[in-house]
Amino acid sequence: MKNLRRFQISCSLLLLLAAVGCTTEDVKPTVSLASNVERFDYNNGQATVFAVLNGPVNQEIAVELTFNGDASLNQDFTVSNEVIVVPSGQDRGFIVLTGIPEADTAIKQISITIKANDAYIVGAESSITLELQDCTGDRDGDGVLDCDDLCPDEPGPPENGGCPWLGLFINEILYDPPTGIAGDSNGDGTRQPQEDEFIELYNSNPDLDISGYTISDLDGVRHVFPSGTIIPSKGAIVIFGGGNPTGGFGGALVQTASTGLLSLNRGGDIITLRDDQGQVLDVFDINNFNDRAAQSLTRVPDITGEAFQEHSTVAESGGRLFSPGVRLNGESF
């Protein structure tokens, strides 16, 4: 309510002021847009678009809109109203968009923007974009319908949301544990520069038996995955240099180096992941990051990122220096 009261200069001297006019001053509501879905179907699918105020208004306002994008109003979709009416006493109003079935079912965008008006202030969320799709279509032919397909233009199995599997790869690596207890990545209560090194692998495959797979540095094999090591689909495994890893690690598998240490040389080393046939699956070249890090390097974003970055420099890390077994933001994979 605090910004929305209508203040009126007292008009008790109305008769006196009548000659020059009685002025009013409004504290205007701030308006933002929101929607209940990001995409909807040409085949009579619907999306609700809300105008949300920062508090209730004491008289009806009409939020004016513009519709842009390659989807056309009344050709590709209809709207229940071209303005959003917020009734008196309410803090929001809405309109409903409905898809029009048609032969052309390419994905089209609808961009809705609040038009400036004296009755309100346009807030930060002044515009939203929705997509119109053919939800019965399957453009990439992978059996996952477009509206359910997280990768609608790349074939992939249903169990991976219609996206291709990416294989087994390094997602994060700590070769330079921070000094002091902040460097106790394995959670065993002491910071030990060899033991607290780790490599985090992610499995973008169905469940995968990695028995006999290896991790090597330039000097030779540092870890052989023991018999019976199976990483669940879309799961992770963390290999620490040593110590007694303590904690949940997001439910990831946890091992320590079979040779007693990983010996990741921060001055220049190349880490190679191989399968049990000796085929190289992934390589991490520390020489590309020749400054001391005192934190891990991680894919950004997790899993799909091509580039590695220092962990704490990514906003969603919340300043954490590493995240063995979990995503940058601390959530499980």
Of 26, 91, 131, 140, the one binding Ca ion (CB under 5 A) is: 140
What is the nearest approach in angstroms of Ca ion to the Cβ of residue 298?
Answer: 6
What is the nearest approach in angstroms of Ca ion to the Cβ of residue 285?
Answer: 19
Residues numbered 238-277 forming contacts with Ca ion, rule: CB under 5 A: 243
Distance between first and last Cα of the chain: 41
Residue with tokens 């002025």: 23
| Residue 144 interacts with Ca ion (CB under 5 A): yes or no | yes
Of 134, 176, 196, 197, the one binding Ca ion (CB under 5 A) is: 196
Residue nearest to Ca ion (CB): 162
What is the nearest approach in angstroms of Ca ion to the Cβ of residue 86?
Answer: 39
Stretch that binds Ca ion, among 4-12, 153-161, 262-270, 280-288 (CB under 5 A): 153-161
Residue with tokens 């070769």: 175
Stretch that binds Ca ion, among 32-40, 86-94, 157-165, 201-209 (CB under 5 A): 157-165
Using the Cα atoms of residue 204, residue 210, residue 213 and residue 216 in order, give the sign of their dihedral: positive
Of 134, 149, 176, 217, the one binding Ca ion (CB under 5 A) is: 149
For residues 131 and 141, the answer to whether their CB atoms sit within 8 Å is no
Residue 221: enclosing H or E segment and its boundaries? strand 220-224
| Residue 134 interacts with Ca ion (CB under 5 A): yes or no | no
* Phi/psi at 315 (5° precision): -55, -45
Q: Tell me how far apart the alpha carbons of residues 202 and 303 are, in angstroms, rounded to a whole number.
A: 7
Stretch that binds Ca ion, among 2-10, 38-46, 89-97, 199-207 (CB under 5 A): 199-207
Stretch that binds Ca ion, among 25-33, 124-132, 282-290, 318-326 (CB under 5 A): 318-326
Question: 49: which strand partners?
Answer: 35, 95
What is the nearest approach in angstroms of Ca ion to the Cβ of residue 181?
Answer: 9
Stretch that binds Ca ion, among 22-30, 177-185, 222-230, 249-257 (CB under 5 A): 177-185
With the CA atoms of 214, 217, 221 and 225 taken in that order, what torsion angle do they form, in degrees rounded to the nearest 10?
-30
* Phi/psi at 148 (5° precision): -100, -5
User: How many residues bind Ca ion, per CB under 5 A?
Assistant: 16
What is the nearest approach in angstroms of Ca ion to the Cβ of residue 232?
Answer: 16
Residues numbered 204-233 forming contacts with Ca ion, rule: CB under 5 A: none
CA angle at residue 104 from 99 to 106, to 5 degrees? 80
Of 160, 186, 204, 256, the one binding Ca ion (CB under 5 A) is: 186
Measured from the CB atom, is 76 or 138 closer to Ca ion? 138
| Residue 323 interacts with Ca ion (CB under 5 A): yes or no | yes
Distances (CA, A) of 274 to 62, 114, 214, 215, 216: 63, 55, 5, 7, 8
For residues 186 and 245, the answer to whether their CB atoms sit within 8 Å is yes
What is the nearest approach in angstroms of Ca ion to the Cβ of residue 215?
Answer: 16
For residues 120 and 68, the answer to whether their CB atoms sit within 8 Å is no
The most distant pair of C-alpha atoms in the chain lies apart, rounded to whole Å, by: 97
Contacts with Ca ion, residue ranges (CB under 5 A): 138, 140, 142, 144, 149, 151, 156, 162, 172, 184, 186, 188, 196, 200, 243, 323
